[in-house]
């Protein structure tokens, strides 16, 4: 199945039968991503009287309870409600699911204090104003260990607030990154990158989202893609999500 997309006066074609999944699978145990010292993802069968929701334990079907810390256990998409007292939900925020997205790979720069940070100048090399409404950042080095790492206490790389302001100034409404957070693991609650992205102290960008803990395989080159960003219909600030990319072929 082919889809035709017009972007800045140019026509592109996407093959919807060839998806590139950039979400992390949720697995029980230590073979799954975890961060911020959250409990691991876990499932347990429903038990009600004589009924057990496990075919291995003699039940007729599998019916499982899920323990999931959405912000910490895998790929998730969040809205401004993540940091506000007022209630904003991801289901109310994300109403469109297809976007032109630009993928760029970046080596975080090491600061004098040992932090690894993505800065404005690095992003300005690749991202131009008005280029796309969605930006995907793959940090380097990159390998499949990102699919099962425990980030807790490791001070992972993060985005400088000035870099986030550049992203906003370029018109990006949906930011996707392969890190646990756009902010420093321990920042005393400042949340400078989150607050900058959602313009927390001004007219809030209530239709914009941040997706964290993606994984973009090295076989996927930097460039422009069609993004399908899917969530569950959670009426809270965040949902597990499944971002999928489709290659674009320029039409003459």
**Which CATH number do you get for residue 197?**
3.50.30.50
pLDDT in tens, 47-65: 999 999 999 999 999 999 9
Please name which of 109, 97, 221, 104 lies closest in space to residue 159, comparing C-alpha atoms: 109
CA 160 to CA 163: how far, in whole Å? 5
pTM of the prediction?
0.96
Q: Is residue 62 part of a domain?
A: no
Q: Is the confidence at residue 238, as pLDDT, over 80?
A: yes
* pLDDT in the model for residue 31: 85
Asked whether residue 169 carries a pLDDT value surpassing 90, the answer given is yes
Mean pLDDT for 143-158 is 96
> Quick check: is 35 in a domain?
no
| Beta strand pairing call for 134-139 and 174-177 | parallel
How much is the pLDDT for 50?
Answer: 93
Structure-token pair, residue 230: 């899917």
- The CA-atom distances, in angstroms, between 125 and each of 90, 105, 129 are 31, 11, 11
Alpha-carbon Rg for the chain, nearest whole angstrom, is 19
Q: What is the spatial distance between Cα 213 and Cα 97, in angstroms, rounded to a whole number?
A: 18
**pLDDT value of position 70:** 97
- Say if 205 falls within a structural domain: yes
Percent of the chain predicted with pLDDT > 70: 100
Unique residue bearing structure tokens 């321990």: 186
Q: 34 in a domain, yes or no?
A: no
Q: Please check whether residue 50 lies inside any domain of the structure.
A: no
Determine, yes or no, domain membership for 112.
yes
Domains in the chain, number:
1
Q: Is 141 within a domain?
A: yes
Distance CA 172, CA 184 (A): 21
45: pLDDT strictly greater than 80: yes
Q: Which domain holds residue 222?
A: 2-25+71-250
Question: Is 193 a member of any domain?
Answer: yes
pLDDT band at 226 (very low <50, low <70, confident <90, very high): very high
């Amino acid at each position: 199945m082919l889809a035709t997309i017009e972007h800045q006066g140019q026509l592109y074609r996407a093959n919807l039968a060839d998806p590139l999944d950039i979400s992390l699978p949720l697995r029980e145990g230590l073979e799954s991503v975890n961060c911020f010292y959250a409990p691991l993802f876990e499932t347990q069968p429903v038990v009600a009287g004589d009924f057990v929701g496990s075919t291995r334990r003699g039940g007729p079907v599998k019916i499982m309870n899920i323990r999931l810390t959405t912000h910490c256990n895998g790929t998730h998409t969040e809205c401004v409600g993540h940091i506000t007292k007022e209630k904003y939900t991801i289901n109310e925020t994300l109403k469109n699911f297809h976007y032109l997205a630009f993928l760029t790979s970046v080596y975080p720069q090491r600061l004098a204090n040992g932090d690894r940070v993505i800065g404005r100048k690095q992003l300005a090399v690749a991202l131009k104003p008005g280029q796309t409404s969605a930006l995907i950042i793959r940090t380097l080095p990159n390998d499949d260990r990102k699919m099962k790492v425990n980030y807790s206490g490791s001070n992972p790389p993060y985005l400088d607030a000035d870099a986030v302001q550049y992203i906003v100034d370029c018109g990006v409404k949906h930011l996707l990154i392969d890190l646990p957070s756009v902010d420093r693991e321990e920042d005393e609650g400042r949340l400078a990158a989150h607050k900058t992205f959602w313009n927390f102290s001004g007219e809030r960008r209530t239709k914009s989202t941040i997706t964290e803990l993606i994984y973009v395989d090295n076989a996927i080159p930097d460039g422009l893609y069609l993004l399908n960003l899917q969530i569950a219909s959670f009426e809270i600030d965040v949902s597990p999500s499944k971002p999928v990319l489709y290659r674009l072929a320029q039409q003459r």
